[in-house]
Structure 1
Amino acid sequence: MGPLLQGQPRLQDPYALGVSERWWVQHFEYLKERGYMMRPRYRPGWKPSYDPKGLYGGRYAEDGQDNIHSAIMDALRISDSLLVAMKRIEISTGEDRIASLFSDDAHNSDSRNHCVRIIEVLPVPGEDGEKILVMLWMRRVMEPRFWTVGEAVQFFKEMIEGLQYMHKNNVAHRDCSINNMAMEADAMYTRPYHPVRPKKRYDWSGRALHHSRTRCPPRYYLIDFGQSRMYDPSQPRPTEYALKSGGYTPPEGSEGIPCDPFATDVFLLGNLIRTSFLDGDTHMHEPGISGFEFLRPLVKDMVADDPSERPSMDEVASRFFDIIDKLPWWTLRVRAVKKNEFPLATPFRAVYHVFWTASMMLLLKPAIPSPKPVH
């Protein structure tokens, strides 16, 4: 089996189908038979609705939007129009085994499990070494932005619980950066959003409007288990070489020293909080968000250079909940302000936030917005 196709330049029409997209077109009928309908762009015989030679080409046309990742495709489940993601994987990675493990009934019923749920695993016709994982379509955690400190605290809570749960089941994620966390945000949206251009509606009829996370809480999930490893609890845990994740390499990875992969997971999670919230992300040119200094001592310990000095995920969870329990409600309802916010906009947004917060309290929305349990 050859490597998954990564696409190629499209010389005449930059919005034409790439190599990896044509793979999905070739499997359109098979996926339709299995109950999944891809967008018009990926149906056999597709003709662009736009003029390829026009000034903007397919930039503003729905069928000009290609898939974000060569191995991932969006589709609607025919039976109920549920938007799903189909991920093409190589069996050799073991991703299907770990993802399916945390999707079985026993794990799925545990509220601490925040690993992405696999709806179905499909074989790939003619390719014994590949499978297609079908799961809910989700979006980036940071978009739309967090409105309050409490909203972000709920995200931290679910990711800490999720990684702790993986470790309790002897699985290390090994790549748990912000890139491998996702948000199921359907409850926030008044109408379905487009998978490639989430600011627009799925049917391309206008802007996709959404509620705040406080009013309609989303769910957060750990995704992408291609680098994850499951260990035998009866045997000494082997050391692993740390991987670069989210643009950052853990200290043990820079030194080329194998170490406990669970300790590396702790670093990656702490580094996520540090770079996406506390200090900003130099790789992504993100400025950081004010209001989270109460987590600084915990994060400092999580990102210690010496892996043996980092707390375990059980310790991280215990300390995190102790910190949150002691926070006053007004700290959690404070506006999460990007550190590069335009100064002239700040007072106007602050006034609006006061009235918005009052409305949320009148609606009895908690400061830490927890989604309803999954049944």
Structure 2
Amino acid sequence: MNNNEESYFDQIIGPRLRALPPPDDNGLTLEDKWWINRFEYLKEHGYMMRPRYRPGWKPSYDPKQVIEKVDAEDGQEMIHPDVMDALRMSDSLVVALKRVKVSTGEERSATLFSNDANKLDPRNHCVRLLEVLPIPDEDDRKFLVMTWMRPVMNPRFRTVGEGVQFFKEMIEGLQYMHEINVAHRDCSLNNVAMDANSMYTRPYHPIDLKKGYNWSGKASHHSRTRRPPRYYFIDFGHSREYDPSQTRPLEYALKSGGYTPPEGLEGTPCDPFATDVFLLGNLIRTSFLDGDPRLHKPGVSGFEFLRPLVTDMVADDPSKRPTMVEVLSRFSQIINKISWWKLRSRAIKRDEAPLSKPFRAIYHIFWTTSMLVLRKPAIPCPKPLH
């Protein structure tokens, strides 16, 4: 941490944290209690939160014992103060309840992608809203209800073709957003997610992703090739919708996923669509091609064929970046030239243990044979939405 960061923490963040009351004897914070107070309301609307967030809950573990808490289902806290997981009681679907401020416009943007005109378009890869609920006594906030999703990189990509499916849906989805005159403006890896329910033989726990929802046993899953997931853009708090009859205004670029686009570093307003192109290219570069040195993530081998396209997408000069129409066209041309064997080859994490590679390679041959017998395409293709 540098001196500026220390000064910012000491002056701004530290006092705010110290001003918050400590958790109570059960380990519940003010935010926990806010959600507990909405339990009955959410239940009336068909959503059941986990035991920890129900009135009268007492921990099954000693709150002073960290290890006991980690090992207990009711010790699993929410991932963010504004996001709660719950079961939809009608069909046991795990959903996300996101608390948003009306003033951010996130509800409006998310609703746009979920309306009748857009929700069934196969190019639309923006998360669909299941429902929007008012929050009692809080006119300035609402609940957005969506399917609960997993991080894109968990579980790992097994083949190059599985990675290609992800790139295709993200490129296609951002091109669609631009086509209907919407800029995401924050499309980093943090703001894309995977609906992996098709992959899992039973629901997984929303906090400990390796466990089953009922906390008994592991959450076993099929590969992306066998049971294709879907990938979505999420979090539209910074998105902007533009009037197609007007010249698109320039915007100041935001820091996204820990990275600031070149135009943001220079403090120069820019076409927000060009900034989106950079952010998506940077996502591919830092998650697959090169890895992310900030987070010590090594990247994934097998995707060098995308290097020329990604290099153009992250050009320092926004005017030299391709449009998303051009990105999609070039991407399709590249993929059409790749052999089926390359698409079915292993996507290898660069930090994979050398001693394990021969064994993984042999297993991969037998697994690939089984996928061929089942006639699973090299690039997974999820079933159309209805």
Q: Tell me the TM-score range normalised by the shorter chain.
A: over 0.9
> TM-score, structure 1 length as denominator?
0.96
Q: Does 1:361 align with 2:372?
A: yes
Q: Does 1:60 align with 2:71?
A: yes
Q: Does 1:283 align with 2:294?
A: yes
Q: Does 1:311 align with 2:322?
A: yes
The aligned residue for residue 204 of structure 1 is: 215
The aligned residue for residue 28 of structure 1 is: 39
The aligned residue for residue 90 of structure 2 is: 79
Query: Could you tell me how far apart the structure 1 residues matched to 2:153 and 2:350 are?
Result: 15
Query: Could you tell me how far apart the structure 1 residues matched to 2:352 and 2:20 are?
Result: 38
CA shift for structure 1 position 105:
1.4
Query: Could you tell me how far apart the structure 2 residues matched to 1:247 and 1:18 are?
Result: 28
**Cα contact 2:162–2:225 (8 A) shared by 1:** yes
CA shift for structure 1 position 191:
1.1
Secondary structure at the counterpart of residue 117 of structure 2: helix
**Cα contact 1:242–1:261 (8 A) shared by 2:** yes
Which of 337, 341, 362 is the equivalent residue of 2:352? 341
> Which residue type is aligned with residue 164 of structure 2?
V
Secondary structure at the counterpart of residue 96 of structure 2: strand
Task: Quickly say closer, same or farther: Cα 1:54–1:236, change in 2 above 3 A.
Answer: closer
Query: Could you tell me how far apart the structure 1 residues matched to 2:167 and 2:364 are?
Result: 22
> Which residue type is aligned with residue 198 of structure 2?
A
CA deviation string 1:132-176 (max 9, x = no partner): 100100010000000000001000000011100100000000000
Which of 257, 260, 276 is the equivalent residue of 2:271? 260
Secondary structure at the counterpart of residue 36 of structure 2: helix
> TM-score, structure 2 length as denominator?
0.94
CA shift for structure 1 position 88:
0.2
**Cα contact 1:16–1:64 (8 A) shared by 2:** no
Query: Could you tell me how far apart the structure 2 residues matched to 1:193 and 1:283 are?
Result: 29
Query: Could you tell me how far apart the structure 1 residues matched to 2:119 and 2:29 are?
Result: 37
The aligned residue for residue 16 of structure 1 is: 27
CA shift for structure 1 position 180:
0.3
- Structure 2 residue ranges without an equivalent (≥5): 1-15
- Structure 1 residue ranges without an equivalent (≥5): none
Which of 112, 117, 121 is the equivalent residue of 1:110? 121
CA shift for structure 1 position 318:
0.3
**Cα contact 1:174–1:264 (8 A) shared by 2:** yes
Query: Could you tell me how far apart the structure 1 residues matched to 2:58 and 2:90 are?
Result: 26
Spell out structure 1 runs of 4+ moving beyond 3 A: 5-13
Query: Could you tell me how far apart the structure 2 residues matched to 1:196 and 1:358 are?
Result: 34
CA shift for structure 1 position 341:
1.1
The aligned residue for residue 241 of structure 1 is: 252
CA shift for structure 1 position 12:
7.3
Query: Could you tell me how far apart the structure 2 residues matched to 1:9 and 1:323 are?
Result: 56
CA deviation string 1:43-80 (max 9, x = no partner): 00101111223462311000000001110000011111
CA deviation string 1:163-202 (max 9, x = no partner): 0010000000000001000000011111110000010000
Query: Could you tell me how far apart the structure 1 residues matched to 2:208 and 2:259 are?
Result: 27
Task: Report the aligned-residue RMSD.
Answer: 1.5
The aligned residue for residue 232 of structure 2 is: 221
CA deviation string 1:110-132 (max 9, x = no partner): 00000000011111111111011
> Which residue type is aligned with residue 241 of structure 2?
M
**Cα contact 2:125–2:170 (8 A) shared by 1:** yes
Query: Could you tell me how far apart the structure 2 residues matched to 1:146 and 1:31 are?
Result: 36
**Cα contact 1:185–1:219 (8 A) shared by 2:** yes
Q: Does 1:191 align with 2:206?
A: no
Query: Could you tell me how far apart the structure 2 residues matched to 1:267 and 1:55 are?
Result: 42
> Which residue type is aligned with residue 231 of structure 2?
Y
Q: Does 1:134 align with 2:136?
A: no
> Which residue type is aligned with residue 286 of structure 1?
K
